[in-house]
Amino acid sequence: MADYRKRFWIVLLLTIPVTVLSPMIMMLFGYHFEFPGANFVVFGLSTVIFFYGGKPFLEGAWEEWKNRSLGMMMLISLAIVSAYIYSSFTAFFIEGSDFYFELATLILIMLLGHWIEMKSQMGASKALEELIKLMPKVAHRLDAAGNIEEVSIEALVPGERILVKPGEKIPLDGKIYEGLSTVDESMLTGESVPVEKNPGMQAIGGSINGSGVLKLTVEKVGNETYLAQVINMVQAAQQQKSKSQSLADKAAGWLFYIAVTAGLLTFLYWIFAAELGLRFGADGDGTRHRLPPCTRTGCPFGECGVHFNRSSKRLADPQPDAIRRGAQSGSDRLRQDRDPDGRQLRRNRHPSRCRGLREGITDAGLFCRKPI
């Protein structure tokens, strides 16, 4: 728990400047803060966050890989490794948006979650320690003559007789053969009221004797005692995963395969799309779009010139372009519709020749023209 807590606080401190320098946070809160070398500063801070804060997840992913049981650690590692590698490329080799902020916050949240989980497990471990403290270290053994001898509880064997004085803890499970008293078993059974004990009744090791003196015959020692069995059950429950946790690990494993498959399919799509002739570009405002090569060719008939608007924002709303360009070319239509000899020209709207382009989409030279 201490390791996760230490990593969490260190990563939290490093995440603050990464968050302040994040373009998304700047846009969200409407401020601008930049200085020379800011990208390299963020890269350095994110590198420390990745290797120091992400170390437990990378090690856990490696263990899952060796055990052929992919789960949550592998899914987290896939996310942080992908974000770090791509962001590093944007810092030195390619242009693009980095994911340093997402990388830092993901590691920070995962460290917090594991810290809380370890804290709950430590709480259960402390409860076990309290149970172990209930077991006394020594016992008063009675010999055949009735003499009392102090011995370690490890030295006792079933069948031997022991004496429990008032206020002492009963060392081992046994059967009372002499004496009357009340026994406090609240720490073991949850019964708040002391239980009256008399000859012939069972006594539980770890419970507290009242005001009377009891003599017992030892029946169970070591791991056979009631308290030892409770401790073993709690330890086994800690080591085993719950059904919901097992289901979450399976879901994380499937999500890992789905994410990898989707990424590979997307990558292959871009590769084959480039091979088929699609071109990708960006406008001045960063809007990306595809531009097939057929849009760069002109009409092969007459004087028709085809020119498509390459802005994706314009393509989303073509009607204003049609109105604007129609107005621009309106003053030239009388001149365009006549040749130098004064003969009338007619508009060729044949779909096979002008490729189905409608008036208003192209620039100046809207129509294929042919003498009448």
Residue 262 pLDDT more than 70?
yes
pLDDT above 90 as % of the chain: 29
pLDDT in tens, 313-371: 333 343 344 434 444 444 444 344 444 454 444 444 444 444 444 444 344 443 444 33
Residue 49 pLDDT more than 90?
yes
Mean local confidence (pLDDT), 260-286: 70
Residue 118 pLDDT more than 50?
yes
| 63-77, 160-174, 298-312: the lowest-pLDDT one | 298-312
d(CA 308, CA 295): 6
Mean local confidence (pLDDT), 196-221: 91
Mean local confidence (pLDDT), 227-236: 81
Name the residue with higher pLDDT: 350 or 105: 105
Mean local confidence (pLDDT), 127-140: 79
Mean local confidence (pLDDT), 115-144: 79
Give the per-residue pLDDT at 277.
Answer: 58
Instruction: Give pairs for 183-190: CB < 8 Å, separation 24+.
Output: 183/207, 183/208, 183/209, 183/210, 184/208, 184/210, 187/131, 187/134, 188/134, 188/226, 188/227, 188/230
Terminal Cα distance for the chain, rounded: 89
Give the per-residue pLDDT at 312.
Answer: 32
d(CA 255, CA 259): 6
Name the residue with higher pLDDT: 22 or 360: 22
Torsion of CA 219, 224, 230, 231, to 10 degrees: 130
Mean local confidence (pLDDT), 136-151: 88
What is the reported pTM? 0.54
Band of residue 80 on the pLDDT scale cut at 50, 70, 90 = very high
Name the residue with higher pLDDT: 70 or 122: 70
d(CA 366, CA 347): 9
Torsion of CA 167, 170, 171, 176, to 10 degrees: 140
Give the per-residue pLDDT at 275.
Answer: 66
Name the residue with higher pLDDT: 349 or 4: 4
Residue 298 pLDDT more than 90?
no
Q: If we measure between CA atoms, which residue out of 80, 81, 79, 61 comes closest to residue 71?
A: 61
Name the residue with higher pLDDT: 40 or 146: 40
